[in-house]
Every structure is written in C-alpha cells, then in structure tokens.
Amino acid sequence: MHAARNGMTVSKTWVAEVVRAHRYEVADLRRRFKRHVPPAQPCNAVWGVDFTGKADLAKRIHPVLGVIDYGSRSALVLRPLPNRTAITTLKALLAAMETYGVPAAIQTDNEAVFTSRLFRFSLRLLGYGTACPRPERLGRTAGLNGCSGL
C-alpha cells in the first residue's frame, strides 16, 4: 500500500526499532487514551436499546431487553420478554418511557426486531428517526451481554 503511493517500502525491522525507541511515549499515549473521560451528556437525552439473552436450566435462551441512559450510564430496564417481536419490544419501551420519561433519541443496532417495519413506523410516530449510522459503536448497551444478573 505504501509502496504504491510513494514508491518506497518500510520493513518490519525498521518499524520495530522505531516503536522500541519510542516505547515510553507510546505507553504514555495509550495510558491517556485509556483514562480519557468522555464528555458529559445530559440525562434522558439518548437511550441505547439492545437485546441480550439468559439461559435457563434446560439451556434455552430467553431474551432480555436492556435500556441504558447514556447520560447517567444507568441501566433503566433489564426486562425478560417472552419473545423478540416488535410488539413486545415496543410495549416494554413504552413502559420504560412512562416510568423514566421520554428520551430525546433512541439508539439501536441493526437487529431484525429494530429494523422491522412495525418498529420503525412506531418510532416515527413517536417522533424518532431510525437511522443508526455506526451500530458497531453501541458498546454501552452491548456491555449488558452476559452481565444481566437475572
């Protein structure tokens, strides 16, 4: 890739020597990136909605709906649902809105429930858009997977 653009290449040995020579600066930068505090968001501005699963003794997986408020970083809802249909998900989401208030935005991943016509239409009726430009960045709600404690 580099050779195609500039007509020169970089060897692995040279890269290893440069990294070794600057290892303390690299370690300092990594430490700063790890300890970076994200900017504060107001509470009830953005909710992240995702599904996780919990296995019973018969090894059947039961869906659990998780709703996280990005501002307070609290899990608002961890509710086991009988199935993963749009109607059931909407009922649980509307119950959460009754309890905690209405968020300014809702973020979901591209799971079939969240991309169904009924779910998208219902969110449009409530005044929410349905586009999630980068679903791979929904790490807060994906963090519920395996941590539901039900």
Residues of the chain with pLDDT under 70: 1-3, 130-150
Say what the pLDDT of residue 86 is.
Answer: 94
Centre a 10 Å sphere on the Cβ of residue 82 and count the other Cβ atoms it contains: 8
User: pLDDT per residue over 105-120, tens digit each?
Assistant: 998 888 899 999 999 9
Specify the pLDDT at position 137: 57
Alpha-carbon distance 90 to 108, whole Å? 13
Quick count: other Cβ atoms within 10 Å of Cβ 119? 21
d(CA 132, CA 123): 13
Residue 94 has a pLDDT of 95
At 131 the pLDDT is 56
